């Protein structure tokens, strides 16, 4: 399991890669919006990656994309974000 945090457009993306039982990794990420309160929204990629590094990089890109297209900040919400949704801009 690995974790990274990155600032992006006044929000924080925290990405966690998790090993899968059958090999490879998946990734979850949190988007933190800081203001009067800190609002954290949780997302799961639902994807499989060959390496820990690929999972972390994809999680950062998915987090950036989610911020760019907009999302309803909630504490917490679980939402699957797939590569096809990332590519098409749909959730």
For residue 80, the domain's CATH number is 3.30.160
pLDDT tens across 54-65, in order? 999 999 999 999
Distances (CA, A) of 85 to 45, 47, 50, 81: 10, 12, 20, 6
Cα distance between residue 65 and residue 47, in whole Å = 16
- Number of folded domains that form the chain: 1
pLDDT given for residue 36 in this prediction: 74
pLDDT tens across 19-55, in order? 999 999 999 999 998 877 788 888 988 899 999 999 9
Q: Which residue range forms the structural domain that includes residue 13?
A: 2-88
Cα distance between residue 84 and residue 6, in whole Å = 23
| Whether pLDDT at 16 is above 80 | yes
């Amino acid at each position: 399991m690995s974790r990274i945090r990155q600032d992006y457009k006044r929000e924080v993306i925290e990405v966690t890669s998790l090993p899968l039982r059958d090999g490879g990794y998946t990734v979850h990420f949190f988007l933190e919006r800081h203001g009067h309160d800190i609002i954290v929204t949780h997302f799961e990629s639902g994807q499989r990656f060959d390496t820990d590094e690929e999972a972390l990089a994809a999680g950062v890109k998915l987090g950036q994309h989610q911020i760019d297209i907009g999302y309803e900040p909630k504490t917490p919400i679980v939402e699957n974000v797939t590569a096809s949704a990332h590519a098409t801009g749909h959730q």
